[in-house]
Amino acid sequence: MSKTTHHSEYLKLASVYIKSAREAFESDNVLENQWNELNYLSKPDFNLAIKEYEIFESIFIENNIEIKRFPSNENVKMDSIYCRDASIATDFGIIICNMGKDGRINEPKAQFEAYQKQNITVLGEIQSPGTLEGGDVAWLDKKTLAVGHTYRTNEDGIQQLKGLLEPKGIQVVVADLPHYRGKEDVFHLMSILSPVDKNLAVIYSSLMPIKFRNELLNRGFELVEVPEEEFESMGCNVLAISPRNCVMVEGNPITKSLLEEAGCNVTTYSGEEISVKGGGGPTCLTRPLVRIDQIYT
């Protein structure tokens, strides 16, 4: 028989929340008014974004993954397409985040309302002055959650996260990330880490703390090293829809080849409008909910 869990980044994905480009971007006028203040590289093309997103969404449909949708909400902005960041899924309920980016401050409440309508249990909420974003957390195994200490996730938020999970037997491993490009840049833990199997992770070592990198090695992870020329194109942002079955943005041929050499199947999508311009790859575009654990007796 099989069992389900929320505590994985690589087991077979059974259910996922998404927010489509049509619902998040809303219109060309909205994009015109928001892209610059939210630090996009340039204004996404609304019609092209919708087409790109339809192809991205088809990956989940073709793999028989249940899709749940965050609805449009007048209180959030175009960044809400990157729906991983406003909440964290655990076996004990959803943790509602508190965003470190001012322009995204209303997204957790919007997701909370959506979860309530679906009768999904909420474990707790990160309260100000704590900040925590979902892009800064990644499950290393069922009992270990890694969290990045970044400009988006502060010490207070990390302590609140520990307070929710450590009493339930979850180890929270902290990775102190560097300044890199500063407070305005989108730089999450998952910018430099994507677990794609129980013993395989895609990483960008140049920005990874030595202590955390050694933690991965000590846990038996084989590391797929993203080359410098593919970091900015989100070569390290890889979504596993099952062990070693990966989704990534087009334009990272070296990383793709390295993954294939490690026994992975890699599906790519064109993400110029929905990923590249906003700095959010496939992990950012999804809030994985339920994954199916291995068969056991």
Sign of CA dihedral 30, 15, 53, 272: positive
Structural domain contains residue 297: no
Question: How many other CB atoms are there within 10 angstroms of residue 49's CB atom?
Answer: 26
Exposure of 241 in the CB half-sphere (CA atoms within 13 A): 25
Q: What is the pLDDT of residues 64-84, one digit of tens each?
A: 999 999 999 999 999 999 999
Q: What is the pLDDT of residues 7-46, one digit of tens each?
A: 999 999 999 999 999 999 999 999 999 999 999 999 999 9
Structure confidence at residue 57 (pLDDT): 98
Q: What is the pLDDT of residues 186-235, one digit of tens each?
A: 789 999 999 999 999 999 999 999 999 999 999 999 999 999 999 999 99
Contact 201, 195 (CB under 8 A): yes
> Which of 131, 126, 140, 193 minimizes the C-alpha distance to 171?
140
| The total number of structural domains that make up the chain | 1
Distance CA 81, CA 40 (A): 13
- 209: containing domain: 4-292
Residues facing residue 143 across a β-bridge: none
The structure tokens listed for 87 are 């909440």
DSSP 8-class letter at 132: B
Structural domain contains residue 15: yes
DSSP 8-class letter at 197: E
The structure tokens listed for 227 are 């080359």
Structural domain contains residue 132: yes
pLDDT of 297 strictly over 50: no
Q: Per residue in 228-251, is it b (16+ CB within 10 Å) or e — as a string?
A: eebbebbbbbbbbbbbbbbbbbeb
Q: What is the pLDDT of residues 40-62, one digit of tens each?
A: 999 999 999 999 999 999 999 99
Cα–Cα distances in Å, from 25 out to 41, 54, 69, 87, 140? 15, 14, 14, 20, 32
pLDDT of 170 strictly over 70: yes
Q: What is the CATH number of the domain that holds 56?
A: 3.75.10.10
Q: What is the pLDDT of residues 154-166, one digit of tens each?
A: 999 999 999 999 9
Q: What is the pLDDT of residues 85-106, one digit of tens each?
A: 999 999 999 999 999 999 999 9
Preceding omega of 129 cis (within 30 degrees of 0)? yes
Task: Please state, rounded to an integer, the average pLDDT across all residues of the chain.
Answer: 96
| pTM for the structure as a whole | 0.95
Structure confidence at residue 296 (pLDDT): 44
Structure confidence at residue 212 (pLDDT): 98
